Amino acid sequence: MCVVKKAMIIVNPSSGKEEAEKNMSKVEDVLRKKGYDVIIKLTEKELDAMEFARTSCVEAFDVVVSMGGDGTLNETVNGLAGQKHCPNFGIIPMGTVNDFARALNIPLDFDKAVDLIEKGETRAVDIGKVNDRYFMNIIAVGAIAEATYQVSPKQKTLLGPVAYMIEGLKTLTSKTAYDIELKHDHGTWKGDALLVLAALTNSVGGFEKIAPDAEVDDGKLKCLVVHDVSLPKFIKIGTELLQGEHIHDDKIEYITTSKLEITSSEKLHSNIDGEEGDPLPLKIEMLPKYLVIYVP
């Protein structure tokens, strides 16, 4: 009996300056030539991508491809994670920043990204679980983190990664530190912090040196804490962050851990993969080599 291979393409029609919907037939053609029956799902509202991905697991699809930005990707990962069956995962990055794709060296060029699916080379990579949801790139806590999810779709389209930087910089005039406690593999850190980042990959907001030694398959999280410092010092640290020199600064905590708990006496929300996340407390754990992804 011939077993039919099944593939699903999840498309965010508004991604890539609305290029995703125009180009989805090219991805379909590649998959059909490889012998897959293909179904295309267009997202219309929040959580559609998650539901489509979950269906692909329940119905034992062999491949799922995400065509969209980091938001679509996060939803898709949340649909795939926690299921008994998980298809191989293809990523066609068409968003503003595409951090996860950058970390995996998946080309931002459409045709080159599609070529990866045609070639079929895969790699098992980590994802993280925070409370009851999943993430694949970054968790941030602090006023700057909260500001960045105020970036509008129009700003993302016009300015790209710079839009996040502009919103973050607006918070500097009212520089606010928060009482933070971190529990990690090596003990506890407690103090006043301007910003806490917990990164799975080396690409954060399109900048690729914030967690310079992060690996996508080592089962480890890189946690970075910026102490409560003066505004000039904070600006200096910002420059160091872009150059990868911050990990040696005595006003930075840089922690490698497989699990992390973040608590505060104040009411704080997190930013998870660029979107508004859960309020603190956060309990984060690694899921090593959890997704099988098409890579160079």
Angle between helices 110-119 and 15-33 (to 10 degrees): 30
Q: Is 128 helix (H, G, I), strand (E, B) or coil?
A: strand
The structure tokens 């500097």 sit at 172
Distance CA 101, CA 94 (A): 10
285 is catalytic: no
Catalytic residue among 19, 28, 208, 275: 275
- Residue recorded with tokens 């959890």: 290
Q: State the Cα–Cα distance between residues 176 and 203, nearest whole angstrom.
A: 25
- List Cβ neighbours of 207 (8 Å cut-off, separation of 6 or more): 161, 241, 242
Report DSSP state, residue 94.
-
Contact 58, 20 (CB under 8 A): no
Helices 48-58 and 70-80 meet at what angle, rounded to 10? 30
Q: Measure Cα distances from 199 to 19, 112, 170, 270 in Å.
A: 29, 26, 23, 13
* Nearby residues of 10 by Cβ (< 8 Å), 6 or more positions away: 41, 43, 49, 52, 53, 64, 65, 66, 67, 68, 72, 76
Q: Report the distance separating Cα 4 and Cα 13, nearest Å.
A: 28
Residue 174 CB neighbours (<10 A): 7
What residues are annotated to the active site?
Answer: 275
